[in-house]
Structure 1
Amino acid sequence: MQQKQALKTGVLLVNLGTPDSPEVPDVRKYLREFLMDKRVIDISYWKRWMLVNMIIAPFRAPKSAKEYKKLWTENGSPLLYYGVKVKSLLQEQLGEEFHVALGMRYQSPSIEGALTELKAQGVHKIIVVPLFPQYASATVGSVTDKVMELVKNWQIIPDMDFIDHFHDHPMFINAFAEIGKSYLKKKDYDHVIFSYHGVPERQIIKAATDTCCKLKDATCACNQEQNIYCYRSACFHTTKLLAEALGLKDDQYSVCFQSRLGKDPWIQPYTEDVIIDLAKAGKKKVLAYSPAFIADCLETTLEVGEEYKEVFEENGGEEWDLVESLNEHPLWIDCLEQLVKERCNTHAFNPTIA
């Protein structure tokens, strides 16, 4: 009798993306693709085209290329390096019943290529894991949009399952907390800041429901169940859970938002303002977290790790330490494995072919 063969489950890991090299042409190409996404800059097509192609890409690419050259290692882009490592480690832990593929929302390796890889494996189900803890239209929403655009023309569309957030998952919180604890054991910090990537206020308001707090701190911090897709609320909730895991009191930490682009108001408080206020208030030792990023990149290593350190020291601060991202930490791989298996258990289905 012919032995039955279990069909594989596909796992698609997706991160934001990175230039193919730190040279200006590749950085410009990356910026154009990234910023032309209608979910990233949510204005009309022609206004977006003019802004990106006539102003941002030409003038910002040379400056960004210099920053990418500082970030680049012998292994290339850290974001891609850790993405490949995580893919390999997760595949090892999940085993032969799964096939793990990696795609970037912008540039290489592409989501299209990753989906083609999974299609060739004949997977019966694809679990899409956008590697962004908190849901935002410009990140998770964009990945979902792109995946659906690519698979809609397949002759056979497998069962698709999207993990649209994991900012409050106990294993995610535990992994980030464990890294932070290693710093807190070595040094007595005056304060801890949790800096998240910002988004324009209009994007939060556009997605607001009748129960949404609409940018009010008090309700953002405690209204998570009703506003699970509110990015700002999710950031406050992540912070609350991390602070509890780290044993921090309310007056020992702050939430703030970085990486503004353009003149429109972005969600506040701004990280730079918080840093200046802390330094002027006499805080000398600060530990910084970036819990919106699962791998070290330009926004963590350089923006938080170096630029904000300079701001802190210029205003009287003395010691500034950055908690590294999850990268390839074993607890992070365990978290991803659990996220995938939870979806398999929730939607139990294990067909076989003769």
Structure 2
Amino acid sequence: MMHNKVGVLMVNLGTPDAPTSPAVKNYLAQFLSDRRVIETSPLLWWPLLHAVILPFRASRLAKLYQSIWMEEGSPLLVYSQRQQKALAARRLPDVSVELGMSYGSPCLAKAIKKLLSQNLTKLIILPLYPQYSASTSAAVWDAVADILKRYRCLPSIHFIRDYAEHPAYIDALKQSVERSFKKQGQPDRLIVSFHGIPKRYAKLGDDYPKRCEDTYRALHTALALPENKMIMTYQSRFGCQPWLTPYTDKTLKKLPVQGVKHIQVICPGFAADCLETLEEIKQQNREIFLKAGGEKFEYIPALNDAPAHIDLLEQLIVVNA
């Protein structure tokens, strides 16, 4: 009889190896070449990407990364590694946990090789995206499937699509918000900001907006706040085409005129703090709100390696092992 051995592959987006233009350029070239991320024909997209976008965007983003870089490295990588170590420390019987990134290091291929060398009977793929999107979760599936083509002997595969409404996830978010309210006082509005996607992707069938709405509704119910105390928005748009609305930055610019002077912002779509939360929200959007007449702005950190977050990840593994 085969002894059960489970491998868990935790996957997040990825990050540059250093806050420098060359490192950012290498990372962006890989990320923005994925057809799941940019669906434009490569014949049209790649010349634009390499001739215009990378040369100009890399240097600008490098400066932004420098403003959030931690002593141990990129925040996304640092917190993802802490998550992996914390989950592995739970010592689940016959379960090994590895971390890989869709783009950049540590690469998926090495993480998968390390897991499959242990004669697994099951491989659980855990994308660290609470809300499914074709541009994130499905991109993980594509990348893993391409790597697994190299192996003759494969274990059973279980893919965790998302966990947008999981009770432990909602409870972890609730705890986060309540800690912030206790420390900073209850704000006039709680802004719940998700990463956006082009509206066209949703029209073509990506159910990401619905999954974001599911998370928002569940969190709103858990917090039991009045209807007008929470606002759901979308951030991080890129390019010229319309993205999901309302936009976070434009919403924050309008709120002070409406008498909203104190806000707190949480970004439930990010399992770990990164450029989009620490620079875009905590720095850029804070400045937008205060310049528009706001008085108090607090960013509620991502769940990162908080014990309640590791509890959630452990539950996802145990139920699927």
Q: Normalised by the size of structure 1, how large is the TM-score?
A: 0.88
Q: 2:148 aligns with which of 148, 151, 165?
A: 151
Name 1:66's counterpart in structure 2. 63
Is 2:220 aligned against 1:238? no
**Once the 2 structures are TM-superposed, how far is the Cα of residue 181 of structure 1 from its aligned partner?**
0.3
- Match of 1:43, as an amino acid? T
CA–CA separation in structure 1 for the residues paired with 2:159 and 2:2? 26
Name 1:332's counterpart in structure 2. 309
CA–CA separation in structure 1 for the residues paired with 2:4 and 2:179? 42
- Structure 1 unaligned regions, length at least 5: 208-228, 345-354
Name 2:202's counterpart in structure 1. 204
**Once the 2 structures are TM-superposed, how far is the Cα of residue 188 of structure 1 from its aligned partner?**
2.6
Where does 1:1-354 land on structure 2 (aligned, <5 Å)? 6-186=3-183, 187-207=185-205, 230-344=207-321
**Once the 2 structures are TM-superposed, how far is the Cα of residue 111 of structure 1 from its aligned partner?**
0.6
**Once the 2 structures are TM-superposed, how far is the Cα of residue 6 of structure 1 from its aligned partner?**
3.2
Cα deviation 1:93-135 (Å, max 9, x = unaligned): 1434101010000010001011000011111110000000000
State how many pairs are aligned.
Answer: 320
CA–CA separation in structure 1 for the residues paired with 2:92 and 2:320? 16
CA–CA separation in structure 2 for the residues paired with 1:277 and 1:242? 24
SS in 2 for 1:137: coil
CA–CA separation in structure 1 for the residues paired with 2:260 and 2:283? 18
CA–CA separation in structure 1 for the residues paired with 2:90 and 2:48? 45
Cα deviation 1:207-234 (Å, max 9, x = unaligned): 1xxxxxxxxxxxxxxxxxxxxx611111
Larger-gyration structure (1/2): 1
Which stretches of structure 1, 4 residues or longer, exceed 3 Å deviation after superposition?
Answer: 4-7
Q: Normalised by the size of structure 2, how large is the TM-score?
A: 0.97
- Match of 1:60, as an amino acid? R
**Once the 2 structures are TM-superposed, how far is the Cα of residue 8 of structure 1 from its aligned partner?**
1.5
Q: Single out whichever of 272-281 and 131-140 deviates more from structure 2.
A: 272-281
Cα deviation 1:57-102 (Å, max 9, x = unaligned): 1100000000111111111111111111111111121434101010
Q: Single out whichever of 130-139 and 180-189 deviates more from structure 2.
A: 180-189
Cα deviation 1:315-348 (Å, max 9, x = unaligned): 110000000001110011110010011112xxxx
CA–CA separation in structure 1 for the residues paired with 2:107 and 2:5? 21
SS in 1 for 2:60: helix
**Once the 2 structures are TM-superposed, how far is the Cα of residue 248 of structure 1 from its aligned partner?**
1.2
Cα deviation 1:147-175 (Å, max 9, x = unaligned): 01110231111101000110110001111
SS in 1 for 2:165: coil
**Once the 2 structures are TM-superposed, how far is the Cα of residue 203 of structure 1 from its aligned partner?**
0.5
CA–CA separation in structure 2 for the residues paired with 1:190 and 1:8? 50
Cα deviation 1:262-303 (Å, max 9, x = unaligned): 110011111112112211101010010101101110000111
SS in 1 for 2:135: helix
Is the CA contact 1:27–1:61 (under 8 Å) kept in the aligned structure 2? Answer: yes
- Structure 2 unaligned regions, length at least 5: none
Name 1:225's counterpart in structure 2. none
CA–CA separation in structure 1 for the residues paired with 2:86 and 2:293? 43
SS in 1 for 2:151: coil
SS in 1 for 2:190: strand
SS in 2 for 1:153: coil
Change (3 A) 1:230 1:94: farther
SS in 1 for 2:136: helix
SS in 2 for 1:334: helix
